[in-house]
Structure 1
């Protein structure tokens, strides 16, 4: 099946231009890729730019890290580990996720585009934004793997890679200084939480599950060692992300 998305995703409307989009947010081994500028939502003030890091030819890629492979549609399982939803319609499916900051829209639209998926967005209540793809055949296998009827549930072989964690972090990662970070979960996805915690632990990121009464649902990742491990896996910060929003 072609993953180009041509014919399936071209109907998404570009969002209004309110501040310049950063260059490509998708990490590429050995270099940054420049990307076409897109029209995306503004933040309350212009985002601080993460420092541009020089290429390091001697740096070894972390196994399963975000730099270790090209982006694929399967990476979107990282969004489904968090608060994203996928729904089916006929032989197609659509993925959507609500985020709490405009920089996340920038990053997710770029990440989806790098996988052949056009995305649209709209502001919603509570100063949040909804990002969604068009209905497309490309997402049908992902929906088949994650949906049991209308219930979201990780497949038996679910695991997390650097690219999946990068998407989850971009959509729903919240730092808690000095040495904690929350990876937020879908509030209606209780059947997923335990399996996702097992997958986190398998990457060296064992976290504490917080319920809704404790500021969740989310997994809290603690200690500098685990945050350093997370930073290795997810790669360098997207240019749209405020410096304090990304582990380094």
Structure 2
């Protein structure tokens, strides 16, 4: 049985999320309530109504846009089950039908040739000194693809993209989707995942306009936002952590 708003994703078949870490909240000043004394940003996720146009945040990162007839859809591959939960809830709240599926990954040697554990010496059996132990390769992390159904609700985004990237405004709701899909803390800051096949010049300019100036990682797969002030700015824009997201992976937890 499915719940209202989850036409293609019964909750009982969603991948189990990673349990969120529990941490005691910091003490508040005397007489201050939970939100008192903290002004919400004007364009933050907590003060801006969600809309299908927010999926531009996914397209700024690793998301892909698909078109069919007079409809469009957005898909993104994520590396953790909790991201499926968060994205599904966020996209359904924008009036979109959502689906997900596991992605199979295969690990291959970079050289394309099988590795060797011993050098040839002319003898049938290698000596003990020539045997090299090889550790078992780590199991690849499970990956999932989250994708919307083709919908006319995304036509405006599809018609404007990719030209709209040149003047992209990364509001809190758009950044929230990006963080949910591909955000993670890194030493000294926070990283947003990118599609290395896309030109990141316009995305870099959009992040600078949002007060989140950073730089590309060496492999071009992440945008690195360094410094407590900028990470705190990101945390304010994306809003409170969703229940399914681990606290230490959400910007506010990383900035603490």
| Whole-angstrom CA distance in 2 between matches of 1:90 and 1:106 | 29
Per the alignment, in what secondary structure is the counterpart of residue 192 of structure 2? Answer: strand
Are the equivalent residues in 2 in contact too, given 1:49–1:241 (CA < 8 A)?
no
| Whole-angstrom CA distance in 2 between matches of 1:102 and 1:47 | 12
Higher CA-based Rg:
2
Cα RMSD (Å): 2.2
TM-score (norm 1): 0.76
- The equivalent of 2:194 in structure 1 is 185
TM-score (norm 2): 0.74
Which of the numbers 45, 56, 61 marks the counterpart of 1:82?
61
| Whole-angstrom CA distance in 2 between matches of 1:46 and 1:11 | 22
CA shift digits 1:113-151 (9 cap, x unpaired): 11001201011124100000111111111111114xxxx
| Whole-angstrom CA distance in 2 between matches of 1:51 and 1:135 | 42
Are the equivalent residues in 2 in contact too, given 1:185–1:218 (CA < 8 A)?
yes
TM-aligned CA distance change 1:49 to 1:98, over 3 Å: farther
CA shift digits 1:184-226 (9 cap, x unpaired): 1112212xx00000111111110111242xxx32110101111
When you count strand as a share of all residues, which structure comes out higher?
A: 1
Aligned length: 206
CA shift digits 1:215-238 (9 cap, x unpaired): x32110101111111111111111
User: Mind listing any 5+ residue stretches in structure 1 that lack a counterpart?
Assistant: 1-9, 18-38, 148-152
User: Mind listing any 5+ residue stretches in structure 2 that lack a counterpart?
Assistant: 27-32, 106-141
1:42 equivalent in alignment to 2:22 = no
1:247 equivalent in alignment to 2:247 = no
TM-aligned CA distance change 1:40 to 1:47, over 3 Å: farther
- The equivalent of 1:61 in structure 2 is 40
1:198 equivalent in alignment to 2:202 = no
